[in-house]
Amino acid sequence: MNGMNYFPNYYSIEDIFVTQEKVECRVNTKLQRMGFLDSGAESDDLEPGRTVNLPLWYIKELKVNNAYFTVAVPDIYRNVHKAVCEAETTHIELGRLHPYFYEFGRYLTPYDRNHVIGRIIFETLRQRVRHLLDISKSDGQAAKAEHRLDNIEAKLHEAGVRTNCQYIEWLQMTGNKIRTSELVEEHQKKRRRADRSDDEGDALPSSKRATL
Amino acid sequence: MDPAIIEFIGEKCMISIIPNFSNEPLHLIYGSVGPFRAGFPVFVPLWMATHLRKQQKCRIVPPEWMDMDILEEIKEEEKRSKFFTKMPCEHYMVVAQLVMSTAPDDVPRCEELRTVIKDIFDIRESKLRTSIDAFIKGEGTYAKLDNLTLLEIHSVRPILPYSLDHIARYQRTATASQRDTSMLSASMTGSSSGPNSNSLFSQ
């Protein structure tokens, strides 16, 4: 239940996944002895002008206008995909573009000079929420893979489907059956096993009576 | 919020029954339930009514609004009006469900009533969905809906508040970054850059 009311904290697994994504950065100044960051580097130092792929958690701690790296905005938030997002908001398969489309965009927003990303994710989510409300009216068994939703949308969808199932169960009054608890079932199985081996075995009856 | 909890809240509605036994008034925690005299109607809470009915100690009298003509009229009113009309009972769905499942014989024309009530519920639910659509599209900051019952609210909860949370989060990051860089460029160049897309977030 916590997944949907999503405010990323240090331990949140989705947040860890999102910040693990690699972003491409161009090095601006010469960084001494940081050559290990770039796997193809010849020297110990990072030369300006090279591009390295760094994880997001590394970059986000630096200031936006820092002198060392320039973050290149990934293609999924740029021209072609941006146009597709705006044209076909509900049919676009965000899950295929990037499983954490919204969160990744949120982290990248400060680095984007043209202010494109923030607006795209905001508008896309707004349009898609209406579509999401509609499709969560289904049972949940049919065709979930078709929709290819982003992680956040998938959680919202799951919540909607669960609500709907509860409502239908209530209407048909099938929901509230009292079930035997697991402990009781296990205990009954053990007793049945003990009784069976009692009948066929030569075991001393006293040893079987240890628990009752 | 489960439908079971909503049912629990709705069971407190009073309903009239005709017991076939006689008894002293029962003094319950929230109040007393009047003396029971066989053959005379008495008002009891719904949970007690279903309980007694299952033990076949009474007969349930359907509430006045559970009548074909009244419900048809409510349905027409609901179809015509743009807003939500006031329902005869705050928990009409719960009352209808419980009464018709425990005592279908006590209610005349049970199946048709069930269909009409379900129709009313569906109309209201679709009205709710369209108004949510309009709200999200129109980028308002708050909305007020009157005369919604609990079960209808249950159908959009918790997906609606959570999705609005997310939308608000992205809106905040978008405006924050826009504001920061426009302040930065304003201080650097001395003139406000004022990008056009600011109008999107004017509220």
Query: Over the stretch A143-166, which tens digit does the pLDDT of each residue have?
Result: 555 557 788 888 888 888 888 888
Q: B171, A122: Cβ pair inside 8 Å?
A: yes
Test mutation, B102, B128, B162, B188, chain A, max A CBs within 10 A: B162
pLDDT digits (tens, 9 = 90+) for B115-146: 898 899 999 988 888 888 888 887 777 788 88
The answer to whether residues A123 and A176 touch, using CB atoms and an 8 Å cutoff, is no
The predicted pLDDT at position B194 comes to 39
On the question of a common fold for A8-72 and A73-195, the answer reads yes
A132 touching chain B per CB within 8 A: yes
* Spatial separation of the C-alpha atoms in residues A132 and B163, rounded to whole Å: 10
Chain A nearest-CA distance from B184, in A, is 11
CB contact burial A31-50 (16+ within 10 A = b; e otherwise): beeebebbeeeeeeebeeee
Measure CA B113 to chain center. 19
Backbone φ and ψ for B52, nearest 5 degrees, come out as -65, -35
Q: Report the predicted TM-score, pTM, of the whole model to 2 decimal places.
A: 0.75
Enter the DSSP assignment of A114.
Answer: T
pLDDT at A190 over 50: yes
> Nearest Cβ partner of B159 from A113, A159, A173?
A159
- For residue A80 the two structure tokens come to 């072609």
Q: Where are the domains of chain A?
A: 8-72, 73-195
Residues of chain B with pLDDT under 50: 190-203
Tokens found for residue B196 = 């056009």
Identity of the amino acid at B141: T
Q: What is the pLDDT of residue A146?
A: 56
Query: What band does A5 get if pLDDT is binned at 50, 70 and 90?
Result: low
What does the block give as tokens for A174?
A: 């099938």
Between residues A104 and B202, the one the model is more confident about: A104
The per-residue pLDDT for A176 is: 66
So what's the pLDDT on residue B185?
59
3-state DSSP call for residue B42?
Answer: strand
Give the per-residue pLDDT at B55.
Answer: 92
Domains of chain B: 1-61 (3.40.5.50), 64-182 (1.20.58.1020)
Environment class of B133 (CB within 10 Å of its CB; exposed 0-12, middle 13-18, buried 19+) = middle
CATH number of A8-72: 1.20.58.2050
Taking the domain A73-195, which CATH number applies?
Answer: 1.20.58.2050
Distance CA B87, CA A145 (A): 40
Confidence of residue A40 (pLDDT cuts 50, 70, 90): low
Beta bridge partners of A55: A22
Mean local confidence (pLDDT), A23-33: 79
| CA-based nearest residue in chain B for residue A110 | B177
pLDDT band with cut points at 50, 70 and 90 for residue A108 = confident
